[in-house]
Amino acid sequence: MVEVNIYDNTVVRSERMFNTSREQLVNRLVKDSYIKSDIVKKAFLTIPRENFVPEYLKLQAYVDRPLEIGKGQTISAPHMVAIMCEALDIQKGQKILEIGTGSGYHAAIVSQLAGEKGHIYTIERFEDLAKTAEQNLKNTDITNVTVVVGDGSEGLKKYEPYDRIYVTCAAPSVPNPLIDQLKDHGKLLTPVGSMYCELQLTEKKGQEIQSKDLGGCVFVPLVGKYGH
C-alpha cells in the first residue's frame, strides 16, 4: 500500500505556487525597469515575500502593492523596494541603516545586497512590529539584520557612521541626524512629503551635501522628533 502524506503534498504544492508567483513578479519588475541589476533581481528571487505578510494575506504576497501588517502600517510594494535598492547602489560589506522596519521584508532584500560581511541595522517605533519582523527574518534564515526599537527619525547613533541610510516612511524634510550619521561618500534615501512625497537621494561628499529628486511615491508618515 502506498501512503500519501496529504499535509506534505499541500506544503510542497503551495511552495511551488509561491515560487512561480515570485518569478512572475520579478519578470514584471525587470520588464518595467524597476529592477535593473542582476544582484537586485537575485535578491528578489531569493527572499520569500510570503514570509513577511500576515497569514490571511499570504495569497496576495506577489501582488505588486502595499499590504497591511498591523498597527495601521504596511509592507511596501515590491516595485518601491526595487526602486530604492537600485537608487542606493549597495555594495557587499556595507553597513546600512533602515528607518521603519515594518515587516522586515525590505531589510531582508537589502541583507542580500550587502552580503554576509555587510550588516543592516533597522529601527522600528512599534515594539510588536519589531518582534514580528525579527521572527520573520529568523524564519527566513537572515542573520545579518539587527532590529532595534526606537525613534528612527533621530537615526541610530550607537552604530554610526553608515555607508547607506534609507527611510521607508514619509518625512517632512530630510532629518539632519541622518545626514550626520552618514559616512563620507555615503548615500541617503528619504521620501519627503506627507504620504504623497518625492523620493530624495542625498549624497555626502566632504562638506558638500548634494540632493536630487527621483520621482513621486506614497508612504506612511515618519513620526517622532524629526517626523510629522
* Residues forming the active site: 76
Task: Compute the distance between CA of residue 37 and CA of residue 169 in angstroms, rounded to an integer.
Answer: 24
* Residues 7-66 within binding reach of ligand SAH (CB under 6 A): none
Residue 25 contacts residue 35 (beta carbons within 8 Å): no
One residue of 48, 78, 186, 224 binding ligand SAH per CB under 6 A: 224
**Which set of grid coordinates corresponds to residue 187?**
548615500
Q: Which of 18, 34, 105, 121 binds ligand SAH (CB under 6 A)?
A: 105
- Binding to ligand SAH (CB under 6 A): which residues in 169-188? 169
| Contact between 47 and 112 (Cβ < 8 Å) | yes
What lies within 8 Å, CB to CB, of 179 at 6+ separation is: 188, 202, 204, 209
Q: Which of 75, 170, 189, 199 binds ligand SAH (CB under 6 A)?
A: 75
Binding to ligand SAH by residue 165, rule CB under 6 A?
A: no
Binding flag, residue 132, ligand SAH (CB under 6 A): no
Please give the sequence-ordered ranges of beta strands (E in DSSP) within 71-207, or none if there are none: 73-75, 95-99, 119-124, 145-149, 162-167, 182-194, 196-205
> Per CB under 6 A, does 151 bind ligand SAH?
yes
Q: Where do contacts with ligand SAH occur on this chain (CB under 6 A)? A: 73-76, 99-100, 102-103, 105-106, 123-126, 129, 151-153, 168-169, 220, 222-224, 227
